[in-house]
Structure 1
Amino acid sequence: MKLSIEKALLHGIAAHREGRLEEAEQLYNAILMESPNHPDANHNLGVLKSTVGDRSTALPLFQAALSANPQVMQFWLSYLEALISEARFEEAKKLLEDAEGAGVSEEKILAFREKIPTLPEPLSRNTAKAPLLSKKRRDASNKKKKRKTQTSLTQPSQTQLKTLIGHYQANRLAEGRQLADTLVKSFPRHPFAFKLLGAILKRMGRLSDSLGPTLRCAELTPEDPTAHNNLGVIQKELGEFENAEASFRRALFIEPKLAETHNNLGNLYRELGRLNDSEDSYRQALVLNPDYAKTHNNLGLTLQDLGELDSAEASFRLAIGRNSEYAEAYNNLGITLHKMKRF
């Protein structure tokens, strides 16, 4: 391959999103020629095939993606959706059991179960089973009521959450930390309290301490891309570069349209000296948000490091055009012009 696998994947995602399906398919297939078990290429090609109605081809691709990386919740959801669309209900039922064990949310599990039709029994057997079916329905209803009753025992009140948010927004960090500590102890499976505790500790400058609650938030909400993005930011600042890249990648495969995460990935690559990858990530962020002044500035820094001073100048000017008070961009533009002997 002329492109690295990582670059080919980024280009494939961009082409896919922009509706250039033939180009995206070629890029995904090129990746799979080099790395047949690549989870993201298999999954994305499966999504593409499903989009054009070729679900029979999509199924083994989703299966390969899931086998390669069962930690990505979206892989479970895509495979389940394809099985049900193809009326392969028994396989879907079995996969639902596995998905439940893998941590897919109860809400998603129930939604998929509702999509699987129940085949009617022969009349004589239906009659015999009627009381049993009624009992099952009663049991399901009782469980639902029980879950509703237990909700107040498993999550903070709205008043507590509003107070916590108020502390954070008003920069009352000591009060916010105290309340967040109380909430995570009282409600150890409620992700928002962990999210705010991590954010408060980070704002207090206690970066190492912020990692634990931020990681816990991501574990409790495996399908929330923002949680993984936040985790990646802290991991990067702590120098855990491989973990940070994995967190950003997970966020993007849950939601590929997060310009902020593409920008963060670009920052990571620039710090690692992977300048071409950094440029690709910044450009992907700008495809999603052309008015993102911060990313124009960051791209200019990478282009400056690459020695592409004319392009760097253009990026800094674009950043300033979108934020006329962007002091850092003005400074970077001045440095670039000086290097070009135009200042």
Structure 2
Amino acid sequence: AHKEGKLQEAEKLYRAIIKSQPNHSDANHNLGVLAVSLGKLEAAIPHFKVAIEANPNFEQYWVSCIETLIKLGQREAAKDVLKQGKSIGLKGDKVDQLDQQLNPEFLALHAQNSLLQEQINELINLYEGKQFKQALGKSNNLLKEFSNSPAIHNLQGLIFSALKQFKRSLASYETAIRLWPQYVEAMNNYGLSLGSLGDFEGAKYYFQRAIVFLPTYSSVYNNYGNVLRNLGQYNDGINLIHHALTLNKVDYRTYNTLGALFLELGSSVSAQNNFKKALILEPNTAEVYWNLHSYSKDFDMAISILIRANIVDSRHIKAQETLRYFQQKKYVNNREDTTKTVDLMINPFSGSIAWVESLENQPQIFFNRWSFFDKICSNHMMTRPFYEFGVWTGVSFGYLRKYYEFGYGFDSFQGLPEDWHHEKQGRYTANGRVPNITGSEFIVGIFEETLPKFFASERPVASIIHFDADLYSSTKLALDNSINIIDEHTVLIFDNFFMTANWQEDEFRALSEFCDEKEVSFEVIGICLFSCQVAVSLKKLSKEASTIRDKS
């Protein structure tokens, strides 16, 4: 009936078959082809996808789906489907034609003539060749002649982003979107630049907007998931990435993002499994190796993973310096002379490690924050309460609560009280939501107002105190007010102590000044390079407690 042009009769036949056999591949495919012929392109896509799932080895099902997505302007979705097909062996002349048609992705966007196509192609080659300054000059020249080309504006935004000029990139993306309001790739890129500037709520909006126009755009889900991780919305991020995997199961970035989300929650098995899946799909990504090494069981395992990270990207300085330190710890019995002057300004990672190496007593090393917490907390004064300064979403507080009967948490739940280097005031906000965790008391408000009032009354001595307030001022204020809950058994844990760009200006500075003022020293008992954590105990505090408290 379909071949004879009896479309209504053919549609009834296909639907009757699907009613009794919902996953019938030919019926679904033919119904999709019929929908395309009637101009119902969006209605065709679900039928093509059912046909592909039912029989993924039949080339025409893939071709019909990809061609329809291209007609819909959903080029990224078409590229994702093509990538999935090729991953299971899809090949042939038609596949090669589609591949050529879809790449480079900007070539067909609003190309006004063959000359513009050629010029855009040259611009893409400069960009992909990392010749960003030359590419920027060429894009400026092109825009003098083709100012209404959204593709050139979008590509210029990518060039600005590559040059770390994110504010200028936003202006380019805005122009591209104004010229083409449904330009989802520009929306995605806009969101990425906002995220690079620390505006995660703004990035979230643009990713959501892109998804509205193109719900099958799997790449944007991955970027959106990373933003949710930065906002502390881990479970929402996991749900989103799981949806992304229904659209594209062959993008290693999606698995890496999912692993990072599980890592934030302390779900070690799920995190490791997803990092390993990412490496199966793309074994040459240093960042995934860096993430995976955090689950090492010993130095041998960590070193083998970090060696691979350095092979695939020798510019990953954090992995490089961590590898050097681990190799030294494993293979060198005698440390270098720690009496010599240590240059802490080499770079934040080398400087941090140089500081550790200069310590008189070398601390225990951990590979991730959860094993760090487990070791420090287990059997450590568990009848005492713990204190946490900087609670945010309560993930670490809830984890610590497993070890102790009671905990006190201090936070405004409105984010940073002031700018913190590149992070803006209000970053790390919980939007006023206080965690609901049994065995806890949360003291809500800014530290200047809440801490003096709270500690004016006698409080139980702490088992551990977790400092995660980030700012020097907040950390110093927390230390000063905690003096009466610290004794020789109390362990102080700092969450962003080192291995960051400005580490000597923040928690490190706060602790150093605190110890100088109270005339005590600290001993580092544990570190984690991956999570930037340090655990210390104060020395001689038990003998000088009364003097210290008098001074406070």
Could you say which residue in structure 2 is the equivalent of 1:290?
249
TM score, norm. by length of structure 1: 0.51
User: Which residue is equivalent to 2:290?
Assistant: 331
**In structure 2, what is the equivalent of residue 256 of structure 1?**
215
Cα 1:199/1:322, change in 2 over 3 Å: same
Mark the runs of 5 or more structure 1 residues left unpaired by the alignment: 1-18, 20-46, 52-76, 78-150
Paired residue type of 2:214: E
**1:161: how far off?**
2.4
Post-superposition offset of 1:253: 1.1
Q: Secondary structure at the match of 1:336?
A: coil
Alpha-carbon separation, structure 1, partners of 2:254 and 2:244: 7
State the alpha-carbon separation in 2 of the partners of residues 318 and 166 from structure 1: 31
Q: Who is 1:178 aligned against?
A: 137
Gaps of 5+ in 2: 1-21, 23-41, 47-71, 73-111, 297-366, 375-552
Letter in 2 for 1:298: T
Corresponding residue to 2:180 among 211, 217, 221? 221
Report what 2:154 is aligned to: 195
1:165 to 117, 124, 129: 124
Q: Does 1:281 align with 2:240?
A: yes
CA distance in 2, matches of 1:231, 1:268: 13
Counterpart check, 1:270 vs 2:229: yes
Deviation, structure 1 residue 300: 1.1
Query: What CA RMSD, in Å, does the superposition of the two structures yield over aligned residues?
Result: 3.0
1:304 paired to 2:251: no
Given that 1:266 and 1:281 are in contact with CA atoms closer than 8 Å, whether structure 2 keeps it comes out as yes
8 Å CA contact 2:275–2:288 kept in 1: the answer is: yes
Matched, 1:319 2:316: no
After TM superposition, list the pairs within 5 Å mapping 1:139-154 onto structure 2: none
Residues 329/171 of structure 1: CA separation in 2 closer, same or farther (3 Å cut):
closer
Distance 1:313 1:195 in 2: 36
Between the two structures, name the one with larger relative contact order (CA 8 Å, sep ≥ 6).
Answer: 1
Shift, 1:305, TM fit: 1.2
The CA distance in 1 between the partners of 2:202 and 2:129, in whole Å, is: 32
Greater gyration radius: 2
Task: Out of 183-192 and 291-300, give the one that drifted further.
Answer: 183-192
Q: Is the 8 A contact 2:157 2:169 kept in 1?
A: yes
Matched AA of 1:252 = I
Q: In 2 relative to 1, CA 173–203 (structure 1 residues): closer, same or farther, beyond 3 Å? A: same
Q: 1:174 to 1:275 in 2, by over 3 A?
A: same
State how far apart, in whole Å, the 1-side matches of 2:266 and 2:227 are. 19
Indicate the structure with greater strand content.
Answer: 2
| Residue 240 of structure 1 pairs with residue 194 of structure 2 | no
Q: Number of aligned residue pairs: give it.
A: 197
Residue identity (%): 30
Matches within 5 A, 1:92-107: none
Once the two structures are superposed, residues 228-248 of structure 1 have per-residue CA deviations (whole angstroms, 9 ceiling, x without a partner) of 111111111112222211111
1:156: Cα distance to partner?
Answer: 6.7
Compared with structure 1, are the counterparts of its residues 328 and 174 closer, same or farther at alpha carbon in structure 2 (3 Å cutoff)?
A: closer
Question: What letter matches 2:186 in structure 1?
Answer: A
Q: Is the partner of 2:266 in helix, strand or coil?
A: coil
After superposition, the C-alpha distances for 1:241-274 in whole angstroms (9 at most, x for unaligned) are 2221111111111111111100000000000111
TM-score by length of 2: 0.33
Amino acid at match of 1:161: I
